Homo-oligomer: A and B are copies of this chain.
Amino acid sequence: MSAPHARRDALSPARRADVLVEAIPYIRRFAGRIVVVKYGGNALAGAEAGALASFAQDIVLMVSVGMLPVVVHGGGPQIGALMERLGMTPTFVDGLRVTDAETLDIARMVLVGKVNRDIVGALNVHGPLAVGMSGEDAGFITATARDPALGFVGDVAHVEASAIHRILSGGLVPVIATIGSDGAGQAYNVNADTVAAAVAAAVSAEKLIMLTDVVGILADRDDANSLQRRLSVSDLQGLIDRAAVTGGMIPKAAACLSAVQRGVSAAHILDGRVPHVLLLELLSDQGVGTMVTMGGTEAPGL
C-alpha cells in the first residue's frame, strides 16, 4: 500500500475535494438505483492477482454510496479447465458446446461452487456483504431448452425479480451464477450475457455494465481510435448488421440492445482491465468505454 499512499500524499486537499465534489451529482443520481454488472469468466481467469480485489473494492464503494449493485458472472474458461483435468472432450454442434448431464454437473460445480464462491469471498473481505445465488434457487431463473441437440443449454424464460429485491433490501449484494431450471427441476447452463440483460430488465435496473477485456465497441475493429463512446440502439444494430461487431462481442452487444429495449436506461461495455473502471464510469464526468442508450445522445450518467 505504500506506493498508492505516496502518490496520494502529493495530492493537494483542494484537488481531493474536487474529486469528491464532482462525484456528488452522480451519487445523488444513482442512490437507490440498481446497477447490474456482468463480470466475465475471462476477466477472472486472465486477471493479474489484484483484479478481483479491485473489482470488489468498486462494488463495495457502490454499496457505500447507496447504489444497489447486482453481480452476474460466467465461467467458461474455468469450466473448460476442469473438464480438461477430468479428461473430458467437449463436443460442438455448429460451434456451440453440447452440454450433456455430466458436463452440466461440471458447469454447476464450477459456476456455483467455484467462481461464485470466489467473487462472494472477495466481497466479503469487506464485511458480510455478498450472497451467492444460483438461478435454480426457488424458481429464480426459469430456463427452457434451446435445442435438443445441444443438451442442457438453456434460454432465459423468466427472472423472478423478487428474489433479487429480497437480498437487495437486506443491504446485500446478490452474486448470480447463471444456472437456470425448468418447471420440472431440470437444470440448464445459460449464457451469462443473456442472463445479465434479463436480470437488468427484470429488476428495472438503471444501468447494465458489461465488464470485458476490450476498450469498447469499435466502428472499425482494426482501428483502436474508432471507439464509439455513445451509441443509440439503432446505431448499434447497424454496426451488428454490417458485421462491425463480431465474435464474442456479439452476445455482449445483443445483451446491451436487449436491456435498453426493455427499459434499462443505459448499457455500458467497459474494459475490466482498467483498475476501478466502474468508479470512473459511475462517479466522474469522464465516461469510459461505450455507452448504449435508446437515443444515443443522453449525457453520460446525468
User: Which A residues form the contact surface with B (CB < 8 A)?
Assistant: 4-5, 7-8, 11, 13-24, 27-28, 31, 57, 60-61, 64-66, 82, 85-86, 105, 108-114, 116-117, 120-122, 124-132, 134, 136-140, 160, 163, 166, 170, 172, 179, 181, 184-187, 274-276, 279-280, 283-286, 288
| Contact call B284/A16, Cβ cutoff below 8 A | yes
A19-B21 contact given A27-B65, A110-B109, CB 8 Å threshold: no
Assembly CA distance A86 to B11 (angstroms): 50
| A/B interface sample: 21 pairs, CB < 8 A | A7-B14, A8-B285, A11-B18, A13-B288, A16-B19, A17-B280, A24-B64, A28-B64, A28-B126, A28-B127, A85-B86, A86-B86, A105-B114, A112-B113, A112-B132, A117-B179, A120-B134, A120-B136, A121-B181, A125-B184, A132-B137
Assembly CA distance A243 to B16 (angstroms): 37
Assembly CA distance A280 to B19 (angstroms): 11
Assembly CA distance A64 to B140 (angstroms): 21
Assembly CA distance A168 to B131 (angstroms): 16
Assembly CA distance A283 to B136 (angstroms): 30
| Contact call B131/A21, Cβ cutoff below 8 A | no
Closest Cβ–Cβ distance, residue A115 to chain B (whole Å): 9
Contacting residues, chain B, for A31 (C-beta < 8 A): 64
